[in-house]
Amino acid sequence: MCHPWLAAGVAGFLGVVVTREVVPVLRREERDAPLAQGLLGTGLRTWFRGRLDPLVDALLAAGIRADWVTAVQFGISGLCGVAYARGWLFTAGWLLLTGGTLDVLDGAMARKCGAASARGAFVDSVVDRYGECVVFLGLAVHLRDGWALWAVLAAAFGAFMVSYTRARGEGLGVACAIGLLQRPERYVIIGGGSLIGSLAAHLTCAPAAAYGLLVGGVLAVAVLANVTALQRAAAIVRQLA
């Protein structure tokens, strides 16, 4: 069953939010900002952290710990995987973006209350990887009957290689956090693709629209995540030479 009027309303709502919140940030951002810092750019990242600040303060004041937020983030990633597997694309996209927000939130909470530690960083990284794994599993179940399954596998491989190259570099004493497509960009491309695709499918009453935009997002991540992993590998090799 399609809901074209609701989809139009949600699209309008998202348009207002983007125009009001994001466009001024993009206008302020320097034109020559280095792409190596990520497709989203530093301006958008700074804005997003700033918007989360009141939430960080409220959660800390309520006695909530960063560890708990990390656990909730993992739960939301699990729900996101289930939503993808069931074909609930709008909900899955929303959950993916929410999980990404909590990923930023837990780190900000730990830093703000002085609880940032090596243990916390390690647990956060492990939870992030498992969370991504569950999301990609859900996507693989949803797209299992076509060639797009290969795109999901390539995207998952690229995403893990982006993290692996950085971790291996840091293990060898070389810090390397550059790259076009880091975790926030992956969340935005796949989550945004799911949201917009689902809206397009409801607007046109054509389910193929959702499939096309979701697969387009997964393909973009498959290519750009592997490019990012190679970018990082090259940077680390140069520093070790």
173 phi-psi bin (left φ>0, alpha ψ -120 to 50, beta other): left
If the CB atoms of residues 3 and 119 are measured against another protein, the closer one turns out to be: 3
If the CB atoms of residues 10 and 25 are measured against another protein, the closer one turns out to be: 10
Report the C-alpha gap between 37 and 158 in whole angstroms. Answer: 17
Residues in the chain: 241
Q: How far is the CB of 239 from another protein (least distance, A)?
A: 38
Q: How far is the CB of 142 from another protein (least distance, A)?
A: 13
If the CB atoms of residues 73 and 231 are measured against another protein, the closer one turns out to be: 73
φ/ψ (deg, to 5) at 135: -65, -45
Q: How far is the CB of 175 from another protein (least distance, A)?
A: 30
Q: How far is the CB of 208 from another protein (least distance, A)?
A: 16
If the CB atoms of residues 13 and 122 are measured against another protein, the closer one turns out to be: 13
If the CB atoms of residues 20 and 27 are measured against another protein, the closer one turns out to be: 20
Q: Whose CA is closest to 142, among 77, 215, 205? A: 215
Q: How far is the CB of 49 from another protein (least distance, A)?
A: 11
Handedness of CA 36, 161, 169, 118 (dihedral sign): positive
Q: How far is the CB of 1 from another protein (least distance, A)?
A: 6
If the CB atoms of residues 83 and 140 are measured against another protein, the closer one turns out to be: 83
Q: What angle do CA 182, 156, 74 make, to 5 degrees?
A: 75
Report the C-alpha gap between 80 and 101 in whole angstroms. Answer: 14
- 22 secondary structure, DSSP code: I
Q: How far is the CB of 98 from another protein (least distance, A)?
A: 6
How buried is 194 (Cβ within 10 angstroms: 0-12 exposed, 13-18 middle, 19+ buried)? buried
If the CB atoms of residues 199 and 219 are measured against another protein, the closer one turns out to be: 199
Tell me how crowded residue 53 is: count the other CB atoms within 10 A of its CB.
11
Q: Give residues in contact with another protein (CB under 8 A).
A: 1, 3, 6-7, 10, 13, 17, 20, 51-52, 55, 83, 88-91, 94, 98, 101, 195, 198-199, 202
Report the C-alpha gap between 125 and 163 in whole angstroms. Answer: 9
Contact of 48 with 29, CB cutoff 8 Å = no
